[in-house]
Amino acid sequence: MLRQSLSKITKPVLSRALATEATFDLPECALHKFDIDLPKQATLTRDDGLKYYHDMAVIRRMETSANALYKAKEIRGFLHLYSGQEAVCVGMEAAITPADSIITAYRDHGWAYTRGVSAAAILAELTGRSGGCQKGKGGSMHMYTETLFGGNGIVGAQVPVGAGIAFAHKYKNDNGVCVSLYGDGAANQGQIFEAFNLASLHKAPCMFTCENNHYGMGTSDVRAAANPHYYTRGDAVPGIKIDGMNVLAVRDFTKAVTDWMRAGNGPVVAEVETYRYYGHSMSDPGTSYRTRDEVQAVRKTKDPILMLKGYMIEGELATEAEIKEIDNEARVIVDEATNFAKTSPELETHEMFNTIYRDMDGTRVRGADSLTYGIHSP
């Protein structure tokens, strides 16, 4: 008996003192014309929990580091930070497969990470060095992998492209889906509704996902949208509203939605309610249109990382010490990544003339006057 009570105070010597999985109640989802059976409970395994925590911790630290690098003028141009929204990318990635596609806008660092780009490659891309995932040619808003179609700078432009990617999955009959993300600000763009319509007619497996962080730059959602219930904006397209701060909710409801789409039922409009701690971008302090109290309140009561930690501790899936260990790991990873981002060499000038076209290597690319040119190379 003494042994048992001691094991609750000190770090357990053996991990079999902890559970391997735990079950939690899921919140309810608002639905719009959606006849779907949603799970009522989520099962979280210890391994999954540790992985989600690790990923969210790395993303949080990575964004903090990017913030510091920007203020130190190591990163120039645009920088839109994802802090506060980590549960969305981690949760959705956990629900889909690497063969599925994702397309998002410019708040893409978290998505690049969960799609497989290392923190080092992300930060080096922000500092514009050759070690970056796009060798420094893209920068913050243009990060890609084979299945992450950006990274797009123009508000809302990526959503119809996402519908097309979903259509391609259907055309190729590969059982894949596309998650086409946009923000509450972009949600009022006209082409998004065209995309809803065509995806619906073609029954393309596109999960149109509005990451509603309640502010489109400095305009709150209720001031920007006559109908701020973004999950209903698909009209004939079924909609679902998911709590984006709860990684388990994001994961399990995304799984339910994507399974429904894979069965050939067509697109879905999902509104994932979340929050960003930083301003819209580095040029926005984020305090002129919302109070500091509001931001602090979200940090205290709804932070996604703290919420997952709560689940882990409550479900006895991990100890405080283990969680702290992961925090330390994340810090080390991001510190090394930051160092890499500062020291990776810049790209050589001749690389400017490649990756313009495919299969055009060896051709001349004209330069800034009639005497300069480069050779297109891989």
Partner 1 sequence: VRAPWGAVGHGALYHSQSPEAFFAHAPGLKVVVPRGPTQAKGLLLSCIRDPNPCIFFEPKILYRMAAEEVPVGDYTLPLSQADVVRTGSDMTLVGWGTVVHVLLEVAEMAQSQLGVSCEVIDLQTIMPYDAATIEQSVRKTGKAMIVHEAPLTSGFGAELSARIQEECFLHLEAPIQRVCGWDTPFGYIYEPFYMPDKWRCYEAVKNLAEYM
Q: How far is the CB of 230 from partner 1 (least distance, A)?
A: 30
Q: How far is the CB of 126 from partner 1 (least distance, A)?
A: 23
Nearer to partner 1, 263 or 352 (CB): 352
151 upstream amide cis, omega within 30 of 0? yes
Q: How far is the CB of 139 from partner 1 (least distance, A)?
A: 17
DSSP codes joined into one string, 92-106: HHHHS-TTSEEE--S
Nearer to partner 1, 4 or 370 (CB): 370
Nearer to partner 1, 171 or 357 (CB): 357
Rg for the chain, CA atoms, rounded: 22
For the chain, report the end-to-end CA distance as a whole number of angstroms.
68
Nearer to partner 1, 217 or 365 (CB): 365
Where is 180: in which H helix or E strand? Answer: strand 178-183
DSSP annotation of 147 reads S
CB atoms within 10 A of CB 227: 9
β strands within 71-130, DSSP E: 101-103
Q: How far is the CB of 161 from partner 1 (least distance, A)?
A: 12
DSSP annotation of 252 reads H
CA-CA distance, 223 to 266, in Å (whole number)? 31
Nearer to partner 1, 292 or 358 (CB): 358
DSSP codes joined into one string, 16-35: GGS-SEEEEEPPP-EEES--
Nearer to partner 1, 6 or 356 (CB): 356
List all residues 6 or more positions away from 220 whose beta carbon is below 8 Å from its beta carbon: 214, 289, 290
Q: How far is the CB of 105 from partner 1 (least distance, A)?
A: 20
DSSP annotation of 265 reads I
Nearer to partner 1, 71 or 364 (CB): 364
CA-CA distance, 339 to 344, in Å (whole number)? 8
Binding footprint of partner 1 on the chain (CB under 8 A): 356-360, 363, 370
Nearer to partner 1, 332 or 360 (CB): 360
CA-CA distance, 40 to 264, in Å (whole number)? 24
CA-to-CA dists, residue 33 to 78, 103, 180, 241, 348, angstroms: 38, 25, 20, 12, 54
User: CA angle at residue 182 from 177 to 186, to 5 degrees?
Assistant: 145
Q: How far is the CB of 352 from partner 1 (least distance, A)?
A: 11
Which of 182, 191, 239 is closest to 212 using CA atoms? 182
Q: How far is the CB of 64 from partner 1 (least distance, A)?
A: 35
Nearer to partner 1, 285 or 357 (CB): 357
Partner residues linked to 241 by β-bridges: 30, 271
Q: How far is the CB of 360 from partner 1 (least distance, A)?
A: 7
Q: How far is the CB of 355 from partner 1 (least distance, A)?
A: 9
